[in-house]
Amino acid sequence: MATNNNNSRRRSAPRRRRRQGVSVLAVIVLIILALLIGAFGGYIIARKTDTHIHTIQDLNDRVTELENTLTLIGYPLGEDVDPAQWAYDNTAGDTALQELRGDNGGWAEDDDDLWNDETLLGATLPEDSDPVVVAEFQGGQLLSSEVIPEYNDQLSSQIFSGHSADEVAEDTLNRVLKKLAGDKLIALRATELGLTELSEADLAQIRQQATANYETQLNDYVAFSEDPGETRESAAKKLEAEGVTLESVVESLKQSWWSQKYFEHIVKDVTVDDGEVQACYDKLLATQKDEYTAYPEDFEYAHTNGDLVVFRPEGYRAVRDILIPFSAEDAVVVATLTEQIELGEADDNAREQIDAMYETLNDKVKEVQDKLAAGEAFESLMDEYSCSPALKEEPLRSEGYYITANSFVNSTEYVEGSMVLEQPGQVSAPLRSPLGVHLVQYIGEVTPGQVPLADIRDAVAAEALKQKQNEYYEQQRDALLEAAQVKYYPERLR
């Protein structure tokens, strides 16, 4: 599906993608290592960062991925499984793989049984073979060297999501062949239309978009950093160390700008009428009503991420906060002590040490409380001091977090202290989280049920238009492939 790749997603946490070209074997080895230490580390991380909604979501995804990988390699999930048989305890054999299998025979007699024809290494394609033509069409051809990395990457994702290689390999290969052939045809067509040449207006737009994208990355890095003392300057240096600068974003957009121009050229005449807007709204409402009623945490994620919400579950209220953060050094100390307590490895005075760290913030907390009592606006004090990272941008800044008694948005103390507030505008007592101490303001109750279409008509219309444009673009792409009389030779890849 075509999308505008030049628009950055609002309030999304910085995420790193796995670089293409990493060997599949290396990925498998990393997964085995993750099975040995990843779940343990993930648990600790989760306990430290429950204030970051995106991190919680990522960790949930990680747990699912690890469960799927365990299933893939043969680990028997279920209530009757004895986990001691699978413990890495250095008693079962000479290799880490033998240890992972356990001392009661495990699931394989030798290492070769781990990677059979049903698993990833048996289904992926070698990337070091001589290139051959695997598709040809009017004006060009597609080589195996172009297909294999993309196929292996997509197949890996499918298998790690719990699918059988035998079931998805053929469809995945056909889909990749069609996509890459289509990409080449579109590039040829865009060249014919003169869309690959960048005008002065294009360069100006690229610079403007790159600046916006870079600023978003920079702000997100600061907002979601685990270092409370993170600044734009320090974030910029860290991004530069990762190869991300304003100029690198500009160059990246230059390489892909033509594809957005081609998309806009194809869909320029697509419009939506009132009936289509209503149909889009009705579909979203039905979907979200089922999903958010069954999984209210998805509603919280959607609201925090700035997604289009047309249905709100019962029992939510809106809050925002003023945060008195730990210094970077103190945050590390508190996190370390908390971790030791969770693992049963802490000294007897660990809790007293944590209490003492929070007490260092008392003077600043009292200072804020005095200003509130003197009549200073809560919002102005959010600017003067700080607030939770996700609340730094509109509309979440004004709307606040949506939380309920079992909310996933913040720490337990934050949620419980927020839920006891009785009147809109009321401010909580100091509440602790891993970030520091929060003073939470109760904004008001969130009206449950469907959001009237009239209130969000522009957003729904934009969503309906986007969906229709993407569908039309795919239709035109398919027509281009058919007209080019593409011939595929998947058998040459085997």
Domain edges within the chain: 24-130+149-165, 200-267, 282-450
Contact 28, 121 (CB under 8 A): yes
- Cα–Cα distance between 8 and 252 in angstroms, integer? 13
pLDDT for 91 equals 45
Contact 159, 119 (CB under 8 A): yes
Q: What tokens does 471 get? A: 């569908």
- Cα–Cα distance between 358 and 345 in angstroms, integer? 21
- Cα–Cα distance between 65 and 161 in angstroms, integer? 6
- Cα–Cα distance between 157 and 264 in angstroms, integer? 30
Q: What tokens does 104 get? A: 């009661």
pLDDT for 328 equals 75
Does a cis peptide bond (omega within 30 degrees of 0) precede residue 395? yes
Domain 282-450 is found in CATH 3.40.47.10:
no
pLDDT for 62 equals 54
Q: What is the 3-state secondary structure (H, E, C) of the chain?
A: CCCCCCCCCCCCCCCCCCCCCCCHHHHHHHHHHHHHHHHHHHHHHHHHCCCCHHHHHHHHHHHHHHHHHHHHHCCCCCCCCCHHHHCCCCCCCCCHHHHHHCCCCCCCCCHHHHCCCCCHHHHCCCCCCCCCEEEEECCEEEEHHHHHHHHHHHHHHHHHCCCCHHHHHHHHHHHHHHHHHHHHHHHHHHHHCCCCCCCHHHHHHHHHHHHHHHHHHHHHHHHCCCCCCCCHHHHHHHHHHCCCCHHHHHHHHHHHHHHHHHHHHHHCCCCCCHHHHHHHHHHHHHHHHHHHHHCHHHHHHHHHHCCCCCEECCCCEEEEEEEEECCHHHHHHHHHHHHHHHCCCCCCCHHHHHHHHHHCCHHHHHHHHHHHHCCCCHHHHHHHCCCCHHHHCCCHHHHCEEECCCCCCCCHHHHHHHHCCCCCCCECCCEEECCEEEEEEEEEECCCEECCHHHCHHHHHHHHHHHHHHHHHHHHHHHHHHHCCCEECHHHHC
Whether pTM > 0.75 for this model: the answer is no
Closest by CA to 403, choosing from 361, 376, 383, 431, is: 431
pLDDT for 93 equals 45
Phi, psi of 211 (to 5 degrees): -60, -45
pLDDT for 480 equals 93
pLDDT along the chain (494 residues), means of 10: 41 31 41 42 38 49 55 52 48 42 41 44 75 91 93 88 84 93 93 93 94 88 73 90 94 92 96 97 97 93 92 95 87 85 85 92 95 94 87 85 86 92 95 92 96 96 97 95 92 85
Orientation angle between helical segments 53-73 and 144-160, nearest 10 degrees: 100
pLDDT for 231 equals 82
